Amino acid sequence: MQESRREKKITVKFFLNEAVEPVKGEGKKQYYPLYVQVTYRRKNMQFRSKYGEYYASLDEVKPSLIRFEEKAIKSIVTYEARKEKGEYDLKGLKRKYELYSLSILEVLEQYLKPKLRLASLKTGSELAGVLNFGDPNVTVGQLYEAARLLFQGFEDTLSEKLKEELESYAVYQKMERPVLAYNFLTLIEWADGSCKQRLEETLAKAFKGNSNTVTGVKTLLDHAVKAKLKDLDT
């Protein structure tokens, strides 16, 4: 492979942005937000860490967070560079980072909530308004269970596709790890294909080769990720 064709080095550096107004704690201690500087092909870009918070020093940042975000950022730049045949210049990286670093579970939540909300509204019940679909802390699973309790025969009104998607969502939700563990699957890992084989093997083992379950989860993830990636075009 010629030198010009080799993948360029991607450098990711974390720092506390002391140029912004700090948050003051006890004893007048000052805390600053965690930022990232990315260097690629002699281009630099800085933006705020998605999962980091405010810290008094870099020593307070969990190493697992640093490793997680560094891996995600490098994967994003590599993915974009390959799409543009090595000519990527970090343009739009901040926005791509915000989207590509989303957890797969969050992508599923955003994909299924509007569908479940529409189904609840179609019941015509005045109780449909009590379901808080706008709260990010309320999960699809919780909303689905609440709808089943509120609306008699709710499951019978759902399309077969939505039923299958909700079943696949429940399977994946049980497998997902907490966000604060910094080892959950992200959108970029599904988009670049790096996690597909691992997830398929995990599902096959957990469900003893039940191909319908494996296929259902993979199909749901494909549809949810494809729908979310459309946000890059808006």
> What are the extents of the domains in the chain?
3-91, 104-233
| Cα four-point dihedral sign 209, 210, 215, 220 | negative
pLDDT in tens, 188-228: 999 999 888 888 888 888 777 678 888 899 999 999 999 99
Closest CA to 177 of 231, 112, 105: 105
Confidence (pLDDT) at 195: 86
Question: Cα separation of 120 and 124, whole Å?
Answer: 8
Q: In this model, does residue 1 exceed pLDDT 60?
A: no
Question: Cα separation of 166 and 217, whole Å?
Answer: 10
Residues 6+ apart with CB under 8 A from 65: 49, 51, 52, 182
Q: In this model, does residue 177 exceed pLDDT 70?
A: no
pLDDT in tens, 103-119: 999 999 999 999 999 99
pTM of the model: 0.87
Overall average pLDDT of the 164-177 stretch: 88
Residues 6+ apart with CB under 8 A from 155: 148, 163
Confidence (pLDDT) at 4: 43
Confidence (pLDDT) at 176: 76
Confidence (pLDDT) at 179: 64
Mean confidence (pLDDT) of the chain: 90
pLDDT in tens, 40-61: 999 999 999 999 999 999 999 9
Residue 119: count of CB within 10 angstroms of its CB: 20
